[in-house]
A and B are shown apart, each in its own frame.
Chain A
């Protein structure tokens, strides 16, 4: 790793102030530190945000779950309230990385990083989440811009993510056997007025599948998916899976998700 300064911020204000120049925020560091180690990234300053009071924790209401940015995956996975209100979100958190990643990695970090194969971005899109920063509230639909790109401005810190509670929902992924990231992960959420289906791992960033949403909105059943044609155009193709296979997996994972809703 190239040398950097480690600074701890006591408040979101201080964090934003410190985040000037070649500085970045450090939460769990589960993506950032490996990138630094492999010299794929270098920063002058790492601003630790884990000591900021109020950034961690889970608040549940009848309509939504609001999770603080530095809440770890393990905390979300083991939260009884989350398990009761949106069980699929607990399942998702419990399937991120491995136990050590879950003990350290945070929801805010995952979303800010927007890895194309990460799990949480799919939850944000499917559960119509709102990303709260110090300055504004960003709807998930406008947040994820592209591979490792988000709507966040320089120095803008995520404070919390608020998920809408659906009628029912499910997340199913086909993990890459090596990295265990999603080759394809599909999050299906049925709300009173709409069905939202998001897909991670398959494209250069998480996306919603309009075809699947349309079909499932009129008939929320696994068989309804059989006749949907998922195009492989624009999907990722790499040594782990061709675009064609990913397109196929989107259907399979959606079917499984709907069945397990």
Chain B
């Protein structure tokens, strides 16, 4: 049998999506359903004087209008920050309450004030227009850099400071810097991004008064955790009476990891009116109220010797986390960020100080890469400047500083198990035809274009898990993963996973693992996810963890199936379990031609007796049935790494930048389905290019989001890209038996510095992200020495 692992199989899920048969939350309609529209704050910061619903209530079709006051009466709790960060002075972080409907203040444009429920959506919207909210407007705090010097938004949170976090040894770092020959300094902005999964968020609350069961259909990457948070903290319903279903989900990129205010409110409202309540975000609502990503202001210093050896790295960051601390908002700019500033370099001294600030902007949380793109951007930008400063080739400078021996304990946190960084760098140089770059540069010059090249050699910590580690640094939950394999009597298999697929192709990749492990044809395997009533508790999909953690849990459950199968087979074949070998779906008794297929074993497990011709005995003490559950908690993160090389052309007249050539060589360890992995890399790169050249979540001084639609927020489109070239190297992870490292975020992590280093190479002076045409044009004006030959 040909191994399924490593095969470019077409995806099992594609047919339904391609024929319009996908089942997204907005596609679900329930009997007796009502429609909800949210009244949102038009102001960035205000006190609510009064909410007058008298007119709205009389509007045609209105079923119910609920406000924060009703929520408080019902003792519905707020949304939580799931990760406690301790400041360098030993004090816990400070977070304001986050009620799903505002109590007496609103803290960003789009903040939730009331829910209007009506018989039709138009009626709900018409009535929402009639809800009269009187506000006392206050001066908004918007700017990341200025937040600490602005008036405190919340009582008791001085300087708007959530925490002041320090990782690393400042003394040693200063010493390292002082021993260097040169100190390179950079001030960087990591721009605010709006995730923009193409499916807008949606939630339907459906309370059944007879069974007292509450069902929430929602666009979520993480249904079990959503249920847990909404049960344990918001007290919407007890877990055993609460089902969360995340059906087909149209992309997440982090923005759908967490429960949102709308989830809590429609679920609660449905219970109150005893009818289903459906809410579907309009894109403009998504812009305002989906969690945003990134938004850092950073100062970085790197010490280097004249021979190119890095001596120390010092980072100071202000991270904007928006108006409230969302679920992963506090871990993203700390433990997902600070340890990664070292990149894949052997640096013996480093420190990273992060001050997280509240502002009157949408909450900022994990977005594809979460912390690691910010870290990679700073290290890859400054390493590039350092190589230039001491006159070394970009590739050579990197090679000199690469970690070369594994395992490698970094000076901050991570112990990197495996890698071969020169391998992917060399391969990328070859694929990108680096040696002929200067020819291409002069070709571009003849067309009046400035060509630049940029490197990004990156590492990321993926497979977000080791519970022992994450809980010791503040996580409110362990980050293991679950799987259950259920054999049916007829030999086909249902696989339940706690991971959640919203584009990643788990229905195929996981089936490939099971098919390989158990020798079952892939068409007889069904991967089930996204419903808390079906599979065991799972931790969802984010942090490139699904394969390394969720996939391993599946593999472990398969092992348990085989173990039980061996016992049953031994009994049926009249041998000992230790003499049974399992291969390609067959249990074979050693030194004999006696064997049973796994289908026969499954049948035997479910029919342990004699029925006519069929005799399927089970050994004594073995339970009937063939179903195994595994929970997997890895011992370490996994560390994908790679080299991305970008070439851009800048139009010196307009400043417009185009990506002309992009090469990515990644080491993801074991790859199950190369087609799916390539797709993940392409998509990640597109988002990274988007961050570098196009996307910017921009608030004006009063806290209005000025990029609140596709008319103003630049989404990368098909004509923004060349064909991207990919390559792979492989050093399997040692932290999980599959050897998988994770691939979902790599592109978004690696691409921004690759693109920006190329832009800056072309322009000859620093440009901040996104490198819009006007910014580049202005940079060129300041640096007229850069001129194309034409």
Residues of A within 8 A of B (CB): 1-3, 38-39, 174, 176-179, 181, 239-242, 245, 248-249, 252, 255
Contacts and interface: CB of A to CB of B under 8 A. Distances in A.
Given A178-B694, A179-B711, 9 more contacts: A3-B122, A38-B284, A174-B656, A177-B694, A178-B713, A178-B715, A239-B698, A241-B774, A252-B653
- Most chain A CB neighbours (cut-off 10 Å) among B126, B284, B711: B711
Nearest to B653: A252
Contact of B774 (A1, A3, A242): A242
18 contacts: A1-B122, A3-B122, A177-B772, A177-B773, A178-B710, A178-B712, A178-B713, A179-B710, A239-B698, A239-B706, A239-B707, A239-B712, A240-B712, A245-B778, A248-B777, A249-B654, A252-B653, A255-B653
A250 to B, nearest CB: 12
B714 interface: yes
B689 to A, nearest CB: 12
Contacts of B778: 245
Interface of B: 122, 125-126, 129, 284, 653-654, 656, 694, 698, 706-707, 710-715, 772-774, 777-778
A245 B774 contact: yes
A255 B707 CA distance: 31
A178 B713 CA distance: 6
B654 A179 contact: no
B714 A178 contact: yes
Contacts of A3: 122
Contacts of A179: 710-712
A240 B694 CA distance: 11
B725 to A, nearest CB: 24
Contacts of A1: 122
A177 B774 contact: no
A181 B777 CA distance: 20
Contacts of B712: 178-179, 239-240
Contacts of B653: 252, 255
Nearest to A2: B126
Contacts of A255: 653
A240 B707 CA distance: 10
B668 to A, nearest CB: 32
Nearest to B707: A239
Q: Nearest 7 CB-CB pairs, A to B?
A: A178-B714, A179-B711, A252-B653, A177-B714, A245-B774, A239-B706, A178-B712
Contacts of A181: 711
A185 B712 CA distance: 18
A215 to B, nearest CB: 18
Contacts of A239: 698, 706-707, 712
- Most chain A CB neighbours (cut-off 10 Å) among B694, B713, B774: B774
A174 B654 contact: yes
B655 to A, nearest CB: 8
A74 B422 CA distance: 52
Contacts of B698: 239
Contact of B777 (A2, A177, A240, A245): A245
Contacts of A248: 777
- Most chain A CB neighbours (cut-off 10 Å) among B126, B712, B715: B712
- Most chain A CB neighbours (cut-off 10 Å) among B125, B653, B710, B715: B653
A241 B778 CA distance: 11
B122 A178 contact: no
Contacts of B284: 38
A33 to B, nearest CB: 14
A38 B287 CA distance: 14
A246 to B, nearest CB: 9
A35 to B, nearest CB: 12
A245 B773 CA distance: 9
A252 B654 contact: yes
Nearest to B693: A177
Nearest to A37: B282
A255 B654 CA distance: 12
Nearest to A252: B653
A236 to B, nearest CB: 13
Nearest to A38: B284
Contacts of A240: 712, 774
Contacts of B694: 177-178
A179 B694 CA distance: 12
A39 B122 CA distance: 11
A241 B129 CA distance: 33
Contacts of B773: 174, 177
Contacts of A174: 654, 656, 773
A249 B773 CA distance: 11
Contacts of A245: 774, 777-778
A42 to B, nearest CB: 11
A244 B712 CA distance: 19
B447 to A, nearest CB: 13
A249 B774 CA distance: 10
Contacts of B714: 177-178
A249 B653 CA distance: 8
Nearest to A174: B654
A245 B122 CA distance: 42
A35 B445 CA distance: 44
B40 to A, nearest CB: 14
A176 B774 CA distance: 11
Nearest to A3: B122
A237 to B, nearest CB: 11
A245 B653 CA distance: 11
Contacts of B710: 178-179
Contacts of B129: 39
Contacts of B122: 1, 3
A8 to B, nearest CB: 23
B155 to A, nearest CB: 34
B659 to A, nearest CB: 13
B363 to A, nearest CB: 22
- Most chain B CB neighbours (cut-off 10 Å) among A3, A38, A174: A174
A98 B710 CA distance: 14
A46 B547 CA distance: 54
A252 B777 CA distance: 12
A178 B716 CA distance: 8
A245 B772 CA distance: 12
Contacts of A38: 284
A240 B706 CA distance: 10
A231 B715 CA distance: 31
- Most chain B CB neighbours (cut-off 10 Å) among A3, A38, A252, A255: A252
Contacts of B713: 178
A242 B772 CA distance: 12
Contacts of A252: 653-654
Nearest to A180: B717
Given A3-B122, A38-B284, A249-B654, A178 B774 contact: no
A17 B492 CA distance: 69
A14 to B, nearest CB: 29
A186 B129 CA distance: 41
A245 B779 CA distance: 12
Contacts of A241: 774
